[in-house]
Amino acid sequence: MPILPLGIPPEKYFYNRKDELKRLKNHLNALNEDIAEQILMTGYRGVGKTSLLKKLINEVPENILVSYVDISRIYGIQKGELTEELILSELLSSMNEAIGKKRIKFTEKVHGKLNQILNGLKLKEYDFREAGTLLGISIPDVKDNYLKLSQFVMQLPQRVVESSKGEIKGFLIVMDEFQLIGELKKPSAFFWMIRSYTQEQSNVSYIFTGSISRTSEIIDMINGPNGAFGGRMIQFNIEPFTREETRGYLTEKVPEITFTDDGFERFYECTRGIPSYINTFCNTLSSGDVYTAGKVKETFFKKMDQITVMWIKIWGTLTPKEKEIVVSLVENGPQTWSSLLESVNFSRASLAKYLDILKNKGIIGLNTEKNYIVDDLLLSNWLKTKREMDGYYPQ
Ligand SMILES: Nc1ncnc2c1ncn2[C@@H]1O[C@H](COP(=O)(O)OP(=O)(O)OP(=O)(O)O)[C@@H](O)[C@H]1O
Ligand SMILES: [Mg+2]
């Protein structure tokens, strides 16, 4: 049985994405000319956004520092209680790590101070009265002072570049699973805060990415006409592998699997070129068999739990109300807001709240007629199949 990675692919498993990498690198190279571009990367769940960014991070030029923050990590640790302070301290911690990795002349000094600040933040002691300033930025000295903390964290990357006297030309900050910022009490304000700093910083680029549908409100909040970045962010959608890429990927990484032509077609139809499905599906196939369309279909239904493992995990994290909304959409197909409200057993306010959460999780989106739909075919197929086989939806 072939084994394809289910996490971030090691170099030898990473396939293609050459054009995307080239485009991203061009945007980053602008930092050398003191032009900082901001990027919003979208794409289906499992399409390979994180993998692509990790690859990019490994390949950025020596003179660019990189911070990578995964908001879902903080969200997970805090069991869903996300606050601005937590995001900022995670950001600060990843900046500190980035500085530590490069031996620049002030690494030791900055590292030492930042460690002290970070320890304080962990203990919720924002009291650094003794600390004074760092690279000319005053260190927050008031307990729980979000404003000062944000000033400090947001100014730090540009200040690092300036203080390095040419050694460092830019700071790249990647915020993965950024859609979870939508769970803050005032997400808009947070984006405006970031925007207010990026406007003045010519050497700090942000890449926001996550599992978001393109129609999610959070996209508007950050980059819509009235959003914080008002359309100035470069929107970058990562597409699934094309039919040819899927074929190329399979031939290169798992040549031991044999498909007939119609078998491959069926495989492509089932996975729609989404690498995470390609990988999990491949891992259920055997090298001794020849996969015809019929055999692919049969295996797909038999091994569905293994193939949709990503959704099984996510399903387990949804609340009963969120599940009820998804089930209603699976059973009734696309629905308007009001028909959805009729079909679920709770109030308008709850529906609005949970729909937002589901959109921000990339589970529900809007179709071209502006009706709500389940954004992932495999998720709805999995739920339908479970209902048929077990008589009820997964708990
Ligand atoms: N270019 C690639 N080559 C080979 N495998 C890939 C590639 N891109 C993604 N994958 C595989 O697909 C799976 C999903 O990738 P990844 O986690 O990067 O997707 P994502 O878009 O970040 O998903 P999510 O929306 O859930 O965060 C992983 O198992 C990874 O190994
Ligand atoms: Mg990801």
pLDDT computed for residue 170 by the predictor = 96
Tell me how far apart the alpha carbons of residues 188 and 186 are, in angstroms, rounded to a whole number. 6
pLDDT computed for residue 41 by the predictor = 94
- Which residue, among 266, 240, 242, has the nearest Cα to 46 in the 3D structure? 240
pLDDT computed for residue 214 by the predictor = 66
Q: Is 94 in the pocket of ligand 1 (CB under 6 A)?
A: no
Mean pLDDT of 305-320: 88
Structure confidence at residue 371 as a pLDDT band (50, 70, 90) = very high
Burial (0-12, 13-18, 19+ Cβ within 10 Å), 295: middle
pLDDT computed for residue 141 by the predictor = 56
b/e burial code for range 161-187 (CB count within 10 A of at least 16 → b):
bebbeeebbbbbbbbbbbbbbbbbeeb
pLDDT computed for residue 223 by the predictor = 92
* Torsion sign over Cα 159, 163, 166, 171: negative
Q: Is 209 in the pocket of ligand 1 (CB under 6 A)?
A: no
The least confident of 114-118, 214-218, 283-287, 330-334 is 214-218
Q: Please, where in the chain does CATH 1.10.10.10 lie?
A: 318-386
Mean pLDDT of 302-313: 88
Q: Is 240 in the pocket of ligand 1 (CB under 6 A)?
A: no
CA-closest residue to ligand 1 atom 1: 15
Q: In the CATH scheme, what architecture does the domain 17-237 have? A: 3-Layer(aba) Sandwich (3.40)
Share of the chain above pLDDT 90, in %: 59
- Cα(5) to ligand 1 centroid in Å equals 9
pLDDT computed for residue 195 by the predictor = 94
Query: Would strands 137-138 and 204-209 be described as parallel, antiparallel, or unpaired?
Result: unpaired
Mean pLDDT score across all residues of the chain:
89
| Nearest listed ligand to the Cα of residue 52 | 1
Mean pLDDT of 56-66: 94
Q: Please, where in the chain does CATH 1.10.8 lie?
A: 243-307
| pLDDT > 90? residue 217 | no
Q: Please, where in the chain does CATH 3.40.50.300 lie?
A: 17-237
| pLDDT > 90? residue 325 | yes
Atom of ligand 1 nearest to the CA of 310: 26
Judge: domain 318-386, CATH 1.10.10.10: yes
pLDDT computed for residue 106 by the predictor = 78
3-state secondary structure of 172: strand
Q: Is 48 in the pocket of ligand 1 (CB under 6 A)?
A: yes
Structure confidence at residue 184 as a pLDDT band (50, 70, 90) = confident
Q: What is the pLDDT of residues 32-53, one digit of tens each?
A: 999 999 999 998 889 999 999 9
The string of DSSP letters for 216-249 reads: -HHHHHHHSTTSTTTT-SEEEEPPPP-HHHHHHH
Mean pLDDT of 359-379: 88
Higher pLDDT, 364 or 134: 364
Mean pLDDT of 170-180: 94
CA-closest residue to ligand 1 atom 29: 6
Ligand 1, residues 12, 276, 280: which to mutate, most atoms within 8 A of Cβ? 276
Q: What is the CATH number of domain 243-307?
A: 1.10.8
Which distant-in-sequence residues (6+ apart) come within 8 Å of 108 by Cβ?
A: none
Tell me how far apart the alpha carbons of residues 78 and 2 are, in angstroms, rounded to a whole number. 37
pLDDT computed for residue 59 by the predictor = 94
pLDDT computed for residue 78 by the predictor = 65
3-state secondary structure of 292: coil
Please name the residue that has the structure tokens 């959109």.
Answer: 359
CA-closest residue to ligand 1 atom 5: 14
CA-closest residue to ligand 1 atom 12: 276
Q: What is the pLDDT of residues 270-287, one digit of tens each?
A: 999 999 999 999 999 999
Collect residues with CB below 5 Å from ion ligand 2.
49-50
pLDDT computed for residue 377 by the predictor = 83
| pLDDT > 60? residue 131 | no
CB 354 within 8 A of CB 325: yes
| pLDDT > 80? residue 75 | no
Structure confidence at residue 140 as a pLDDT band (50, 70, 90) = low
Mean pLDDT of 323-346: 95
| pLDDT > 60? residue 306 | yes
CA-closest residue to ligand 1 atom 25: 45
- Cα(329) to ligand 2 centroid in Å equals 25
Q: Is 279 in the pocket of ligand 1 (CB under 6 A)?
A: yes
Atom of ligand 1 nearest to the CA of 15: 3
| pLDDT > 60? residue 367 | yes
Q: What is the pLDDT of residues 110-130, one digit of tens each?
A: 888 888 888 777 666 545 555
pLDDT computed for residue 310 by the predictor = 83
Structure confidence at residue 145 as a pLDDT band (50, 70, 90) = confident
pTM, 2 dp: 0.88
Mean pLDDT of 200-224: 87
Share of the chain above pLDDT 70, in %: 93
| pLDDT > 90? residue 240 | yes
Mean pLDDT of 357-384: 88
- Cα(211) to ligand 2 centroid in Å equals 7
| pLDDT > 80? residue 133 | no
